Structure 1
Amino acid sequence: MAILSMREILEKSITARSFSDFKALLDVNDNTLMELYAAGLLPLNELTEGHLQTWIANQYEKRAHTEWMALHKEWKGSDASVIVLPAHHALKRWAKHTDGATAYCLPADAKVFLFLPIKNSEKVPIRTLLTHEYHHVCRWEQLQRKGALFSLLERMVQEGLATKASEERGEARWRVDEMYPPLSKREKSLVQKQIDLKMDGFSEKSTVVMYGNGRKWPRLLGYRAGIQMVREYYIDHSWNIRKSFSISAGDILSHSSFNAQM
């Protein structure tokens, strides 16, 4: 599979002011649709005909298709559906490093969503976003084959590996460092305590650790920890994309400064 075009179904939905066909095409329920809104999708009831025509003129689907074909050929990875949709206007403020774009994936369903701004920008990092989310899909497939548990540690490591994959395909390291600064000693200690709990990666608390909450948990703590663990691991190991899909999170941890045994 490849790019799943949304153009016709969005045009039809706007005219009818009904989005049931849109949800059916994506094969998502209301809860998943809310996840997509939280990840950056422009609420469908805010999408106007003018917005859509401007967005279509950007030829994002064509650009995403080109990137997808190159990525899939390079990695020889899993099949996936890539779905390109309009991004919420607010992303211009809180996703400034990606020029108002963001992405999300449903790895169990092999679906990657790219939320791209209505106003065209050649700076939108489609390659980086697609690489990052597709890595999650490929790694998820391997973990399921091995019957591995999805722990908080795995959730952190997978973000670090996906970021590393993006860097290997051209993402600037300085941009990553701006978005995900290294952890302080106190922050590192917080992470180590949670790793010891072997927390379920799907739990509410693990999500707080990953994203932060502005109080006890610093912003993007889990993401930053995963990136740091993976960087430390690859100081003494060579990068191999195929191995990155299946290497255990425990192996990454054991070769990092987050390992309590060190």
Structure 2
Amino acid sequence: MGVIDTKNWLKESRNPIELCEKLEKYFHHLQAEEIHHYLSQYGMLRTGYEHWLVKADDSNIWTKANNIFLKLKKRWNGPDVPIFIFPVEERKSFFGRDFKGRSGLSFQDKMFLFLSPDVKNDELIALLIHEYHHICRLRKNPKHEKDYTLLDAIILEGLAEHTVYRTIGEQHVTNWVKKYSKRQLYSWWKNLIVPNQDIKWDHPLFDQLLFGKGFYPTMLGYAIGYDIVQTFYKQKPFSTKESFYLPAEQFVESYETKE
């Protein structure tokens, strides 16, 4: 599998719903309109692909992404999954500023990359490391994705970005992991995350705390997850392959002892 040729999909149709009809077989019980709405929430450009397609074709994004994926798959002995590349909605500050024109979404059996045609090679590598780590950890965890708690999610995100840090260096981690002080993060952990750590994805606070929506600090859960994982690693170093199955609760134990 690897990177699917969505370039030709985009050339054949400018209608986003028609594009998402091709994805229906990869989703259970979701129609094209629902898939498009869901992917749009994670950065997929809604309309206007022409300019993006010309630039992305020139920079050969699909081949670059596939080569990176194959190297990671071999290094981690990871699963073979389809990867779909689509334009990112850069006009939204959330994706243009906080994510530098790149975003991703991963499941146990598939990955979506939403990219700027100007994405730099090291940024593409960092995004693929982050997203493919998700897939490897989701595969190793017996818990179903729908049963993930807020704690599971923040550790999942923290581990993925920690893997970027350990693989290609601190300069390639995203802005939000450096945005807050450790004192702030620990305070928010105790006051905001701990009382809600067992909520599931369908709870209204889940996305608000994970992504820092509404009145919560931007990318709150992601930033706390990274700090928790970094704290654990300094006390008990682990390999990338070990990070695929270490329980979320184990990281918290180390974080609590730093008081």
Inter-partner Cα distance in structure 2 for 1:231 and 1:184: 11
Q: Could you tell which deviates more after superposition, 87-96 or 199-208?
A: 87-96
2:59 aligned with 1:62, yes or no? no
TM-score (norm: length of structure 1): 0.84
Partner of 1:234: 233
Structure 1 residue ranges without an equivalent (≥5): none
Q: Give the count of matched residue pairs.
A: 250
Instruction: Report the alpha carbon displacement of residue 208 of structure 1 after superposing the two structures with TM.
Output: 0.5
Q: What residue in structure 1 maps to residue 45 of structure 2? A: 42
Task: Work out the CA distance in 2 between the residues paired with 1:19 and 1:147.
Answer: 26
Correspondence 1:15-164 to 2 at 5 A: 17=15, 19-20=17-18, 22-27=19-24, 28=27, 29=31, 30-43=33-46, 45-48=47-50, 50-90=51-91, 94-96=95-97, 99-105=100-106, 107-108=107-108, 110-118=109-117, 120-122=118-120, 125-144=123-142, 149-164=147-162
Contact kept in structure 2, 1:78 and 1:138, CA below 8 Å? yes
Percent of pairs with identical residues: 20
Cα distance, 1:189 vs. partner?
3.3
In structure 2, how many angstroms separate the alpha carbons of the residues matched to 1:241 and 1:39?
26
Displacement of 1:76 in angstroms is 0.3
1:173 CA drift (Å): 1.8
1:192-207 matches, within 5 Å, as 192-193=190-191, 194-202=193-201, 203-207=203-207
Deviates more, 1:175-184 or 1:236-245: 175-184
For the aligned residue pairs, the C-alpha RMSD in angstroms reads: 2.7
Q: Does the CA contact (< 8 Å) of 2:95 and 2:102 recur in 1? A: no
Shift of 1:97: 6.2
**Matches of 1:58 and 1:184, distance apart in 2:** 39
Residues 81 and 111, structure 1, Cα contact 8 Å, conserved in 2: yes
SS in 2 for 1:235: helix
Residue 211 of structure 2 is matched in structure 1 by 211
**Equivalent residue runs for 1:8-19 within 5 Å:** 8-14=8-14, 17=15, 19=17
Q: Distance in 2 between matches of 1:55 and 1:8?
A: 12
Contact 1:132 1:166 in 2 (8 A): yes
Shift of 1:128: 0.5
Residue equivalent to 1:179: 176
- Decide whether aligned partners of structure 1 residues 191 and 112 sit closer, same or farther in structure 2, where only a CA change above 3 A counts: same
